[in-house]
Amino acid sequence: MPNLTSFRAPLRGFAALALAALLSGCNMVVLNPSGDIAAQQGRLVVISTLLMLLIIVPVIALTLFFAWKYRESNKEAVYKPDWDHSTQLELVIWAAPLLIIIALGALTWISTHTLDPFRPLARIDAERPMPEEAKPLVVEVVALDWKWLFIYPEQGIATVNELAAPVDVPIQFRITASSVMNAFYVPALAGMIYAMPSMETKLHAVINEEGVYDGISANYSGAGFSGMRFKFHGMNVADFEAWVKKNQAEGQKLDRETYVKLERPSEREPVRRYASVDPALYDAIVNRCVEPGRMCMKHMMAIDAAGGAGRAGLSSYALTTVPKGESGLPATTLATDICTPANPVGTPVAIAQ
């Protein structure tokens, strides 16, 4: 009767072959993207990995070699208990990593500036420079709890959990968040960019192939984080224009009142379309003044930069109740007695003009 151990080697080989077959069907989108920025970042990952492997592979190989060569049973290995230095070996040990670090440093410096997300694109792909007359498609991105809002200011439309752009047209993303920090990421298009409340980050990218790609949130943001997914559609120009017209025909109006309701936390939201958008909505979202009666962050910062404005500068809801004599003084500055150990309440005790 055959021994079961005799079947182990063929089974291991079959398992390895089956695993390789399964992995061959995987789409490693980070290393095989459809956008030029993501393609450059993918090449950067490959080059950096290969440079590091120039050190890692020899070290692992030599470790195994020395362990085998100087094993206890090998009586032919030369034993030198008093050996402690070799100039030639020291040169190899230190020079090789130093050269790798220099190469990685140069690569990092160049790519950091070339792939700066705030920098407008200089090319469509590796073979085509960006035409001087090319105008980017502007998309305003808002990370909500737990969904994505995309506003197209030039087209006057907005969508929830659906993004589209024409192929070979530069895209300028303006990105913010409504509450907690998040991260906007379309692996096939470009790298991850953080979305932060009261701030705006930017991303310039281009999609070079038609298709439907996955977009995700790459930063944990609470209970509905895992459902913050959307589809990014790369289209030809005609299809994109048809998509815009479809939104204009089927959608509703996105004004401040509608946004306040949309902003409420919800999970796994379906695609929504808005045929028109309040032109000032995105700016109000960034400055956290969508709700009626709130003072915008930019106005608060302007007051602070001017030296303060009494109690009125501390609360946007106090504007109508503070006496005009205190809030209306021109070019006033609050004394340093505010928020000191002697005055922990923070009451203004002196105002100098």
What Cα–Cα distance (Å) separates residue 62 from each residue in 58, 70, 76, 128, 177? 6, 12, 18, 46, 50
Q: At what angle do helices 87-114 and 36-69 cross, to 10 degrees?
A: 170
Which pLDDT score, from 0 to 100, does residue 26 have? 57
* CA–CA separation, 108 and 47 (whole Å): 11
Q: Which residues, in sequence order, are bridge partners of residue 140?
A: 151, 174
The answer to whether residues 241 and 157 touch, using CB atoms and an 8 Å cutoff, is: no
| Helix H or strand E segment including 92 | helix 87-114
Domains of the chain (ranges; CATH) run 27-114 (1.10.287.90), 128-286 (2.60.40.420), 297-352 (no CATH)
CA–chain centroid gap for 128, Å, is 26
Going from the first residue of the chain to its last (353 residues), give the mean pLDDT of each consecutive group of 10, the final group possibly shorter. 55 60 62 92 93 92 91 85 87 90 93 94 94 95 97 97 97 96 96 95 97 95 92 97 94 93 94 96 94 83 73 44 35 38 47 34
- What lies within 8 Å, CB to CB, of 230 at 6+ separation is 148, 161, 162, 163, 215, 216
* CA–CA separation, 165 and 207 (whole Å): 8
Tell me how long the chain is. Answer: 353
The answer to whether residues 168 and 247 touch, using CB atoms and an 8 Å cutoff, is: no
Which pLDDT score, from 0 to 100, does residue 298 have? 87
Which pLDDT score, from 0 to 100, does residue 311 have? 55
347, two tokens: 């009451």
Residue type, 191: G
**What is the 8-class DSSP label of residue 197?**
B
Q: Which residues, in sequence order, are bridge partners of residue 233?
A: 164, 212
Which pLDDT score, from 0 to 100, does residue 327 have? 31
* CA–CA separation, 25 and 198 (whole Å): 42
Which pLDDT score, from 0 to 100, does residue 3 have? 56
As to burial, measured by CB atoms within 10 angstroms (0-12 exposed, 13-18 middle, 19+ buried), residue 247 is buried
Block residue for tokens 């609360």: 315
* CA–CA separation, 238 and 12 (whole Å): 53
The answer to whether residues 151 and 277 touch, using CB atoms and an 8 Å cutoff, is: yes
- What lies within 8 Å, CB to CB, of 17 at 6+ separation is none
Residue type, 132: E
Q: What's the sign of the alpha-carbon dihedral 46, 49, 54, 57? A: negative
* CA–CA separation, 34 and 46 (whole Å): 17
* CA–CA separation, 258 and 142 (whole Å): 15
205, two tokens: 């990218």
